[in-house]
Structure 1
Amino acid sequence: MIRLFFVAALSSIALWGLAALSALPLSQWASPFANPATLLPEQIFFAFGLMPRAGIALLIGGLLGLSGALMQAVLRNPLADPTTLGVASGAQLALVGATLLWPEALALGRGPVALFGGAVTAGLVMALGARRGFAPVTVTICGMLVGMLASAISTALTLGQGHYLLSLVIWNGGALSQDSWHGVFRLMATLVLGGVAAALLARPLVVLSLGGATAKALGAQVGLTRFAALSLAVILSGMVSAEVGLVGFVGLAAPALVRRLGARSVTQVLLWSPLAGALLLSVSDSALMALAALGGPEMPTGALTGLIGGPVLIALLPKLRNIVPPETERSDLIAPRATHPWKRVAAIVCVTLILTALSLLGGRGPDGWGIISGDIAATFLPLRATAILAAASAGALLALSGAVLQRLTANPMAAPEVLGVTGGAALGYAATLFLFSVPSPFTLAFGSSTGAAVTLIILSAYAMRSDMAPARLLLAGLAVGAFASALLAAVMASGDPRAWSLLGWLAGSASRASVSGALALSVMAVVGLGASLLVSRWFDILPLGAGVARGVGLPLGRVRLGLVLGAGLATGAASVLVGPVSFIGLMAPHIARSLGLVRPASFLAASWCLGVLLMTVAAFGARTASYPYDLPLGLFATLIGAPWLFVALLGRRHS
């Protein structure tokens, strides 16, 4: 371990030296104690920019490594860290919200605001996890979903404030650039105090690692220990977010690295994780500076560390097999079965038609709320009808994809956005933008659909090879989504002009859809529903297992591949027209199941209709909330879907 750390330290020094020499010859390097008035601009940049940046990278890595080690120790969960538990996203949302909406809250500094946001999200995740006995998989899924919600709201706020856009995009990516030593001094004090507190908690955490029941039998105060350790972890990660923004997954990778290098006890992991995190972030940041010095793109360091998280998270999933009791990953709820399912489907169709008509004819105009008529109706109705058709068709395809994936994986938590399909579609869209000088709408649709389908195929192959439980498959999908988000953040923060086209698409809007695009998507949605109903018998057989499916003569491999490809293509086609939208593909099937529509045909039809309904409502909210400007469509879909999902998770008790 010591030898590897020594090599990492030398690599970091060498890379940082390359970046420093490209900025200033060695003979002109200045001391950080020099008077700035006596220095050249290049020397000021070196002494008060490059040098504190090297220190801040080490300190932030140490803080995040210690925070992740504490979270993993107290929850007995190797997947826990400030990113996967949503703490970093909560701090980010609080800081963005305060910056844009309530600047007076920053009067005492960014630290208290970040700590408040991180504490709120941590409390929410712990409340959700407590319903399942803090099972590692459940807690991690809750944390990543809470993080998705916080990130969606943060992104929407950022996009809604154009004059802050560039600085917030870069800050959200975790930029380590410095202009003084003040940040280094603040974080150094935080790390010293945090290290002392962690040392005091080490012995109680060792006892807690034996299990809650055993720890109580030995006289340990389990609740107090958990609260103290999690509070300390939130404080450490919140201070990082307040200083530099979102730096992801260092708290996940550092403890995993030291365990791989031989650390076994809780004390050893707590001792070595800060050093591993410091070296990991230092090497990453120095490599980015060296790359920029050689003519490469400049990007926030947090975007690079986010790329580490997805592979590390996937690599750790098989280790849960001997840690997590399988019964803690199962749902305790059996949905009621409706006596007359098609009557309920008809009722859903009626409600959908009524709300669609109200959305088309009503809304908010220059004179306030009302029904549009006259010349205004003649002008705006065709545009509004096109946007509603595009949104409704996209919602139908996403909901249908979610219903298919849930039946295919026998997992009610599966959905395009949760399994990383939406992230794959976004990467396909981005790749098409950069590969073609002037990509056509068809090329963009093909690129995003291919990205979604490839993501699903890779995920399915990995899951089948590793014999993953359904909950672990969800975590693998969330890891893919996190990887995609980090890569997109790196692209957007690079400053490439094409990144702004990508940013506009990520905002999501149905108002940009053309008539031909909306009609094509609606045809695809109707064809998709018809095709799924024709093969609805498959969805009765697939949840029974591979042995039963093969026993009745079902060509399992081809069926799975066809359904996966269909779900991927549908997700990609929906995303290219209205942008990436979260939670519709997850929530619509959930609502259909809660209404007792559990047989395949009625379940698929109801999910399709509910997708139309939910996206129509989301499009209406995006259009009217900040009239005359459209807000991101994905924000309203998330705000509709996330509360429902949290209620569903709160209803799942640990038995």
Structure 2
Amino acid sequence: MTAMARYAIVAVALFLALGLQLHNATALLPFAAWPAWPFDPAAMDTNQIILAYAVLPRGAVAILAGAALGLTGFLFQQVLRNPIADASTLGLSSGAQLFIVAATLFLPSAIDGSREMVALAGAATATAIVFFLGWRRNFEPVTMVVSGLLVGVTASAVAAALTLSQGEYLMSLVTWNGGSLSQQDWSTAERLAVELGIALVASFFLMRPLRLLALGDTAARSLGVGVTAIRLAVAAIGIFLAAGVSAKLGLIGFVGLAAPHLAKAVGIRNESPLMVASTAAGALLLWLCDGLVQFAAQAAAEQFPTGAVTALLGGPLLLWLLPKIRHAKRPAHAQLHLVRKSSPAAAATLVLIVGIALAASLLVGRSEGVWHWLSLTEFEQFLPMRWPRLLAACAAGGLLALAGAMLQRLTSNEMASPEVLGVSGGAGIGFAMALTFAASPTQWQMLAGAGAGAVTATLLVLAYAQRRHLEPDRLLLAGVATSSLGTAILGALLAIGDQRAWQILNWLGGTASTATESSAVLLAALAVATLAVALTFVRWLTLLPLGNAANVALGMPQRSARVLIVASAAVATAAASLLVGPLSFVGLMGPHLARQSGFVRTREHLLASFAIGAALMVLADFGARNLAFPYELPLGLFAALVGAPYLMWQIGWRR
């Protein structure tokens, strides 16, 4: 594409954004009736007041917020030398969102006049976690983005669960979380303009060290650049801008990711012009998206928050940018797991742990803040209510851990799991489709939708990775991109605020309280059947980590093996996700704990992973029931609160 054609596309986008803004404004009030500046509310009618203090400020806010996010994306991509770094992929926006939701629900006095400080604290906390994990691995791009996206997904899930626990706040919090640009005056635009101006001035002073940092840390240090200080300065500016936008508007995703690449697509390469162009591209992108949202709202009964629409850019953008990421190879460890044998003591310990988990869930109760063993009478009374959810939790945990074990061996990557590899994200998309196209979906329809989505998403991720010859770490990132797209679709449906929002929020949090005798027995039967099928894959799962050459030499049907293993993992994940939601990390923890306990041979690893996953989910159900007694915490959230720190430890501390 020639330079003239690229500039023509930019001009068309600019005129389209301006045209949409004028169309949306004139649909309310003809241009000839617009009030003159400065606005005087006393001399205006209702439509003029709406135009002057709602429509026009909304356009200004879209431009300024987009510019702030574009600048944030440019700074993070430059300082980390990472083409997919921005406030969304590094978890800043989600951290700010979580802190504001928590403060709104539990400490509303902190929000009055201090919303920006609360958002700043959340963004800073998320950034500190991600940067610490990245520092442990020399800010390797895949590690940074996987860490950031998982921090973001975890924060969003916790925020959704908190919202679910306070139903009276559902509509306002969900709409705000979606990134609504609705305005009532010019105050937000004025504050954004001041913050953007401060950040631009500070960024210009960082241009020279950023140019030198692009040469590499060693070269930059030899030229007198304080690498750590520059990274901290850029992080401070990014936190300042992302927290400001999140506090005022909610979660607006992936504008900062796209803006620098749009600027580069025009042909701009030098740092200073690229910074200005990225800022302008972010402004144009969000302004255009908001214009399209308003235009569509005039023709339809539903209006989605603009942030929910921009979030849909994330998955496709990440997949497009994935091959551009530099990669630090690490040796595979699968071959080391072929010959070790587990000890009888380890097996006995595992059986004991599972038994303790089951006994605690069945026999321990809590009333008036006191823990006690149930009497025989209490046990008989509670058993009909407890055994279905206990059986369902066992089956769901076993299914997730079994799926994680199969995926880890299939990809030769110990960080693979249903949550990370896109299986849960695909299940979420299928679940949403079942809710959308079925008037009153049954349990079977939701299971079929979730299963179809999980299988489709996983096969697409694997096909994409195989076609582009991606390393296992990049395969993880492709899966996280799929999960991000699923989260965006669910977020858009949440923003509608109808009955589907309640169903989606319940699914996101996960609960075993809905398990009935029939559904628990069905899930348990499916878990046993899936385990039996997985055990027939033992030879394939043993040989696949050896690589293509060895598999061909041994006459193994690689394509058929991969498809069958992926399909089994996807069906297991879909079935379990209907009970515990998309985020529990049991699929990651179960196989890891099994391996660390000495169960490293394939058959033993699958069986031990299944058992440990079942025990973990039973204990999670026990904690969800009793920790906040008499209220019940979402099951998936409770498991994720344990699993997320474990995942961060795996990323940051294991070599």
Normalised by the shorter chain, which TM-score bucket? over 0.9
Letter in 2 for 1:12: A
**Residues 1:231 and 1:491: Cα distance change in structure 2 (over 3 Å):** same
- Name the structure 1 match of 2:603: 601
Q: Which residue identity lines up with residue 41 of structure 2 in the other structure? A: P
Q: Is the 8 A contact 2:157 2:509 kept in 1?
A: no
CA contact (8 A) 1:93 1:154 kept: yes
Match of 2:160 among 151, 155, 159: 155
Counterparts of 1:643 and 1:501, CA distance in 2: 27
Residues 334 and 226 (structure 1 numbering): CA distance in 2 closer, same or farther, change over 3 Å? Answer: farther
Instruction: Provide the residue aligned with 1:385 in structure 2.
Output: 387
Are 1:43 and 2:48 matched, yes or no?
Answer: yes
Q: Which moved more, 1:276-285 or 1:545-554?
A: 545-554
Match of 1:357 among 352, 356, 359: 359
Match of 1:620 in 2: 622
**Cα distance change on mapping 1:360 and 1:11 into 2, 3 Å:** same
Distance (whole Å) between structure 1 residues aligned to residue 104 and residue 190 of structure 2: 23
- Tell me: CA distance 1:212–1:383, structure 2 relative to 1, closer, same or farther (3 Å): same
The SS at the match of 2:372 is: strand
CA displacement at 1:25 relative to structure 2 = 3.2
2:455 alignment partner, one of 453, 456, 466: 453
For residues 595-638 of structure 1, give each alpha carbon's deviation from its aligned partner in whole angstroms, at most 9, with x where no partner exists: 23221111111111111011111111211222233221111111
Structure-1 separation of matches of 2:37 and 2:635: 48
Within the candidate set 61, 74, 79, 1:74 is matched to: 79
Name the CA shift for 1:162/1:400 in 2 (closer, same or farther; >3 Å): same
Match of 2:268 among 263, 267, 277: 263
Q: Which amino acid aligns with 1:588?
A: G
Q: Which runs of 5+ in 1 are unaligned?
A: none
C-alpha change, 1:153 and 1:496, in structure 2 (3 Å) is closer
User: For 1:242 and 1:412, how far apart are their aligned partners in 2?
Assistant: 37
Q: Work out whether residues 89 and 148 of structure 2, in 8 Å CA contact, stay in contact via their aligned partners in 1.
A: yes
Change (3 A) 1:567 1:336: closer
Aligned equivalents of 2:14, 2:36: Cα separation in 1? 22
- The equivalent of 2:475 in structure 1 is 473
CA separation of 1:525 and 1:648: change in aligned 2, threshold 3 A: same
TM-score when normalising by structure 1 = 0.96
Letter of the aligned partner of 2:521 in structure 1? L
Q: In the alignment, which residue of structure 1 is the partner of 2:109?
A: 104
Count of aligned residue pairs for this structure pair: 650
Residues of 2 paired with 1:81 and 1:495: CA distance? 29
Aligned to 2:184: 179
Amino acid at match of 1:307: L
Q: Counterparts of 1:513-532 in structure 2 under 5 Å? A: 513-532=515-534
Partner amino acid for 2:622? F
Distance 1:223 1:331 in 2: 32
Q: Which residue of 2 aligns with 1:302?
A: 307
Matched, 1:326 2:355: no
**CA 1:627 to 1:73, structure 2 compared with 1: closer, same or farther past 3 Å?**
same
**C-alpha displacement at 1:375, in angstroms?**
5.0
| C-alpha distance in 1 between matches for 2:653 and 2:598 | 17
Matched, 1:188 2:197: no
2:3 aligned partner = none
Distance in 2, matches of 1:489 and 1:541, equals 40
| Residue 371 of structure 1: how far off its partner (Å) | 2.6
Q: CA RMSD in A?
A: 2.0
* CA drift at 1:337: 8.1
Map of 1:412 onto structure 2? 414
Q: Deviation at 1:103?
A: 2.2
How far the C-alpha of 1:434 sits from its partner, in A, is 1.8
Task: Give how far 1:420 is off.
Answer: 1.4
Query: AA paired with 2:526?
Result: M
Return the alpha-carbon distance in structure 1 between the equivalents of residues 98 and 119 of structure 2: 8
TM-fit CA distance, 1:32: 6.1
Instruction: Trace 1:29-428 onto structure 2 (pairs within 5 A).
Output: 29-31=34-36, 33-320=38-325, 323-327=326-330, 339-366=341-368, 368-373=370-375, 376-428=378-430
Which range moves more in the overlay, 481-490 or 14-23? 14-23
Displacement of 1:61: 0.5
Name the CA distance, whole Å, in 2 between partners of 1:270 and 1:331. 42
Partners in 2 of 1:461 and 1:515 — Cα distance? 39
Q: Paired residue for 2:594?
A: 592
8 A Cα contact 1:336 1:594, kept in partner? no
- From 432, 439, 444, the counterpart of 2:434: 432
Query: CA–CA distance in 2 between the matches of 1:95 and 1:331?
Result: 42
Q: Deviations over 1:441-486 (max 9, x none)?
A: 2121111111101111111111110100001111111111111111
Conserved in 1, the CA contact under 8 Å of 2:94 and 2:156? yes
Match in the other structure for 2:544: 542
Query: 1:451 and 1:470 mapped to 2: Cα distance?
Result: 22
Kindly state the Cα deviation for residue 296 of structure 1 after the two structures are TM-superposed.
4.5
Which whole-Å CA distance do the structure 2 matches of 1:351 and 1:162 have between them?
Answer: 37
SS in 2 for 1:418: coil
CA contact (8 A) 2:342 2:599 kept: no
Rounded to whole Å, the distance in 2 between the matches of 1:334 and 1:58 is 54
Note if contact 2:337-2:601 (Cα within 8 Å) is conserved in structure 1: no
Write the distance in 1 (CA, Å) between the matches of 2:424 and 2:439: 24
SS of 1:370 mapped into structure 2: strand
Task: Output the TM-score relative to the length of structure 2.
Answer: 0.96
Q: Is the 8 A contact 1:336 1:596 kept in 2?
A: no
Distance 1:282 1:331, change over 3 A: farther
Q: Which residue of 1 aligns with 2:12?
A: 7
CA distance in 2, matches of 1:219, 1:332: 43
CA 1:25 to 1:247, structure 2 compared with 1: closer, same or farther past 3 Å?
same
The separation in 2 between residues aligned to 1:215 and 1:62, in whole angstroms, is: 29
Contact 1:342 1:602 in 2 (8 A): no
Pairwise CA distance, 1:325: 3.5
Q: Tell whether the 8 Å contact from 2:312 to 2:489 is kept in structure 1 after alignment.
A: yes
Mapped to 2, the partners of 1:153 and 1:544 lie a distance apart of 39
1:146 deviates by 1.5
CA contact (8 A) 1:584 1:641 kept: yes
Relative distance call for 1:47 and 1:334 in structure 2 (3 A) is farther
The one-letter amino acid paired with 2:446 is: L
Partner of 1:464: 466
CA-to-aligned-CA distance 1:310-348 (integer Å, 9 cap, x gap) = 10111001112xx33434x97899789865345413321
Match of 1:491 in 2: 493
Q: 1:28 aligns with which of 22, 33, 41?
A: 33
> Residue type of the partner of 1:461?
A
Residue type of the alignment partner of 1:526: V
Q: Within 1, Cα distance between the matches of 2:82 and 2:553?
A: 39
Q: Distance in 2 between matches of 1:460 and 1:411?
A: 13
Secondary structure of 2:257's counterpart equals helix
Partner Cα separation in structure 1 for residue 615 and residue 31 of structure 2: 65
Over 3 Å counting, the alpha-carbon distance change for 1:244 and 1:613 in structure 2 is same
Secondary structure of the 1:58 match is: helix
> Structure 1, residues 543-565: CA drift from partner, whole Å, max 9, x if none?
00122112212111111110011
Whether contact under 8 Å (2:123, 2:239) holds in the other structure is yes
CA deviation string 1:101-152 (max 9, x = no partner): 2223234421111111111111111111111111111111111122122222
- 2:329 is aligned with what amino acid? P
Q: Deviations over 1:168-203 (max 9, x none)?
A: 111111111110100000000011111111111011
Deviating more after overlay: 374-383 vs 187-196: 374-383
**What residue ranges of structure 2 are gaps of 5+ in the alignment?**
1-5
Percent identical residues = 44
Q: Counterpart of 1:349 in structure 2: which amino acid?
A: V
